[in-house]
Structure 1
């Protein structure tokens, strides 16, 4: 397999398609998830309105240090360092929220912070958190079937309390940021640490690229209404190495498209804190 396949969560072959995708690529495109397009659009609009605010108004909810809740301006993160590579800062702003707004989930990284504007920001974010968390739990059930576990609720049962993270990335246009320097990405090459990541993406000139086992790179397509889902380091280990946590990156925008801007809703999922991750 040399591309990112599409799987319908409601289809009988969903476990087999997901298994092959996670073995060969580490990524899959997911439909049949049940999240309304209206909710995704409303959530995107709320975060985009926030990112378009002047910096001094966004600073009221700036995260005190990386990894906590709040706004992270450009220059605060460089994902290449996770592989020991000294790289320029990633070309993005972010807003980070914990899933402890949802019933049963506990705050592990401090309380969420909420901006006073735009109106409806918190309501949209919390509603989206609930919807994408339900998708994550459903995918974990498919993962259990794909691995042939007798207990199809195994992964789900170990994922009901953790404070998963919604990280919303805004890739501003270079007409706003200036041209990238050598070696700069929108997000540098990295893997995700958790079980799975569920992304809502939009098309643009700088694609999400996934590294294949032979070292080549393939673009992850943007399919209308589909989530992009990838296997993280913990799930790769939990699967006994059957599945791969693929290195991925988002390229810097092209000078030919100076106004290209993207916004991604990224839901990072992890097991409950007391869970022992053994193959």
Structure 2
């Protein structure tokens, strides 16, 4: 299952033939695996490491202090360990995911009280770690611009005008999650069927992941080879599409199952922190599948982004 490395420099500055070649490679990869690695993005690695260091300071706080910022899945603030179980979306009652998350989102209120309360609630920032707010806000702005560029590349790869997807995602909410995967010496023995993140597909449009390599790292499911380790290439972002993008494209592109392995006895002190940006379509946009020849034959009914995401978020929340 090829997960190619796409060089954005060729897309940004290459000839028309170069751009066409990049778009064709993206189309092939999203049909086969739903995943890409992207280099040449120009986002400073030290910026990402500063976010990790600030997040570590928060995660190291006493549990009582962190509880001040606690929120449910889909909210904003600290999602404690044991609150999310990705297996629930498929009806399996396996143990919750071995992680904790600090999450924030776009604060562009719509003026509609119900929508703003559900999707654009105010971000919550810990006073104990004062630089976390600034770093996350700066990074989210960079990610929104990066997502817009990637959506342009995906639109051309799919045979559309370059702005087609981005025009339909320009007022969307987003989620920026900082996931901490604690070391084995902190979690204790892992239950059967428990993962740092259980097998799942992402729900929305595109996911932009900055990850750290480790024994308990990312795996992707291949129809031909089963579970494989996602390749690690220095200073690349891992990009994958979610269920709504697959649905939009009539399943021409694959929303692929992936998981994060549990902490390994081979590295009992290994702690990983991932930076994950989820880009969504506009909440009121009705996602309708492209018919052939762009999409594949399918029986999807139209659905709004908000309705689809709401159902999925509710499904993975541990009561």
TM bin (shorter chain): over 0.9
Q: Is the 8 A contact 2:107 2:120 kept in 1?
A: no
- Residue 189 of structure 2 is aligned to residue 190 of structure 1: no
Residue aligned with 1:100, SS = coil
Q: Which portions of structure 1, spanning 4 or more consecutive aligned residues, are displaced by more than 6 angstroms?
A: none
Residue aligned with 1:222, SS = coil
In structure 2, what is the Cα distance between the partners aligned to 1:37 and 1:109?
29
Q: Residue in 2 aligned with 1:256?
A: 266
Instruction: Determine which of 57, 62, 79 is the counterpart of 2:70.
Output: 62
In structure 2, what is the Cα distance between the partners aligned to 1:22 and 1:128?
26
The runs of 5 or more residues in structure 2 that have no matched partner are: 11-17, 110-114, 290-319
Q: Residue in 2 aligned with 1:146?
A: 157
Q: Residue in 1 aligned with 2:255?
A: 245
Please list the CA deviations of residues 128-148 of structure 1 after superposition, one character each: whole Å capped at 9, or x if unmatched.
Answer: 101111111110000011011
Q: Is the 8 A contact 2:26 2:154 kept in 1?
A: yes
Task: Give 1:34 deviation, angstroms.
Answer: 2.0
The structure richer in helix per residue is 2
Task: Give 1:38 deviation, angstroms.
Answer: 2.1
Residue aligned with 1:57, SS = helix
Residue aligned with 2:259, SS = strand
In structure 1, what is the Cα distance between the partners aligned to 2:144 and 2:64?
32
Q: Residue in 1 aligned with 2:144?
A: 133
Q: Residue in 2 aligned with 1:7?
A: 6
Instruction: Determine which of 44, 53, 78 is the counterpart of 2:61.
Output: 53
Task: Give 1:32 deviation, angstroms.
Answer: 1.7
Task: Give 1:58 deviation, angstroms.
Answer: 1.0
In structure 1, what is the Cα distance between the partners aligned to 2:95 and 2:120?
26
Please list the CA deviations of residues 71-94 of structure 1 after superposition, one character each: whole Å capped at 9, or x if unmatched.
Answer: 011111111111111110111011
Residue aligned with 2:143, SS = helix
Residue aligned with 2:280, SS = coil
Q: What is the TM-score with the length of structure 1 in the denominator? A: 0.94
- Residue 28 of structure 2 is aligned to residue 20 of structure 1: yes
Residue aligned with 1:33, SS = coil
In structure 1, what is the Cα distance between the partners aligned to 2:273 and 2:76?
18
Cα RMSD (Å): 1.7
Residue aligned with 1:61, SS = coil
- Residue 52 of structure 2 is aligned to residue 44 of structure 1: yes
Q: Residue in 2 aligned with 1:178?
A: 188
Task: Give 1:234 deviation, angstroms.
Answer: 0.8
- Residue 97 of structure 2 is aligned to residue 97 of structure 1: no
Please list the CA deviations of residues 224-272 of structure 1 after superposition, one character each: whole Å capped at 9, or x if unmatched.
Answer: 2111100111111111211000011111111121101100011111101
Residue aligned with 2:286, SS = coil
Please list the CA deviations of residues 66-124 of structure 1 after superposition, one character each: whole Å capped at 9, or x if unmatched.
Answer: 2100101111111111111111011101111112269xxx9524111110121311010
Residue aligned with 1:85, SS = coil
Aligned residues: 274
Instruction: Determine which of 186, 207, 212 is the counterpart of 2:217.
Output: 207
1:113-132 equivalences in 2 (<5 Å):
113-132=124-143
In structure 2, what is the Cα distance between the partners aligned to 1:109 and 1:115?
18
Instruction: Determine which of 26, 35, 41 is the counterpart of 1:33.
Output: 41
The runs of 5 or more residues in structure 1 that have no matched partner are: none
